[in-house]
Amino acid sequence: MSLDWDIPFFISIPHSGEQVPNEVTWLQGLSEPTLMRDVDRYVDILYKPVIQNQNISSIVSPWHRYVVDLNRTDDQYDSRAVIGAPKPQGTEPRGLHWCITTENETLIKEPMTQVLHEILVGRYYQPFHESVHELRSQIYQAHGKVFHLDLHSMPSLGTALHPDPGESRAEVVVSDFSGKSANSEYKDLVMQAYQKAGFQVAYNWPYVGGGITRMYGDPDNQFHTVQVELNRALYMDEKSKQLKEDQLPEIQKKLATAIVHIQNGLKE
């Protein structure tokens, strides 16, 4: 986590991590395309130059999202994932614990114990959210308001398990939980920033925002959270999950343009 107090702004990147702890045995031995199916691979690399150059306050998780999904609320798991879970099997297949990928590949064959569930939440989920709570509280104390950007990536085509199966997606999707997680001025600023950087931008489709957007966006109390999804076809081979090295400098430059535009728009 880095800190910058000039403007009330911070970034979180919850899904780019690739570390898998030893206790998550069901992820051992998976092929790289399957293991990286739903990871926001390289998003941390894409935004790293602008975060460093602009000294932006940021929280980036090192943990793989299949270990425990930081963009879910802590009650989003079912009995297929955890023995004795209050929610029945099938209600949260891609919740806090992913049972299947978005290509319907099986990840969890047998439910984990309640003890292991609590270990994963305590070691990998809670520390991230405690860091977000602490940072936003510090920024709020300094400025009386907080503007938060939660950064992700998305497949270029919706799968059968997405709300837009088979549809080609925009280059960037900006989401504010249908207007509930940020005021319109901040949402408009974010959309304008990515558009001015040269991206095709969509709003709240096919994503309206995840658990982080819902948990931390509270515009009535001056907490504004917007989620941004970046189309993976722009910078990676979606089948092999490998980075398109020749595309990296241009994408980083465009993302830097967008982020700096947001910063400039938030200066007091």
Give the Cα separation of 176 and 213 in Å (integer). 7
Q: Contact at 8 Å (CB) between 209 and 174? A: no
- In this structure, is residue 157 part of a structural domain? yes
Q: What is the predicted pLDDT for the residue at 5?
A: 65
Q: Is residue 53 part of a domain?
A: yes
Q: Determine, yes or no, domain membership for 94.
A: no
Give the chain's length.
268
With respect to residue 74, please indicate whether it lies within any of the assigned structural domains: no
Q: What is the pLDDT of residue 165?
A: 93
82 lies in some domain: no
Query: Half-sphere exposure (CA, 13 Å, Cβ side) for 229?
Result: 26
Residue 29 lies in a domain: yes
Q: What is the pLDDT of residue 6?
A: 85
Summarised one tens digit per residue, pLDDT across range 63-78 is: 999 999 999 999 999 9
Structural domain boundaries enclosing 37: 9-64+144-266
Domain count of the fold of the chain = 1
Pairwise CA distance, residues 230 & 212, whole Å? 17
pLDDT, tens digit (0-9, with 9 covering 90-100), for 228-263: 999 999 999 999 999 999 999 999 999 999 999 999
Stretches where the chain sits below pLDDT 70 are 1-5, 268
Q: Is 253 a domain residue? A: yes
In this structure, what are the phi and psi dihedrals at residue 253, rounded to the nearest 5 degrees? -65, -45
For 265, phi then psi, to 5°, come to: -70, -20
Predicted confidence (pLDDT) per residue in 97-106, tens digit? 999 999 999 9
210: domain CATH number?
Answer: 3.40.630.40
The 8-class DSSP code of residue 136 comes to H
What is the pLDDT at residue 268?
A: 62
Query: Is the overall model pTM greater than 0.85, yes or no?
Result: yes
Pairing of strands 223-231, 172-175: antiparallel
- Residue 92 within any structural domain of the chain: no
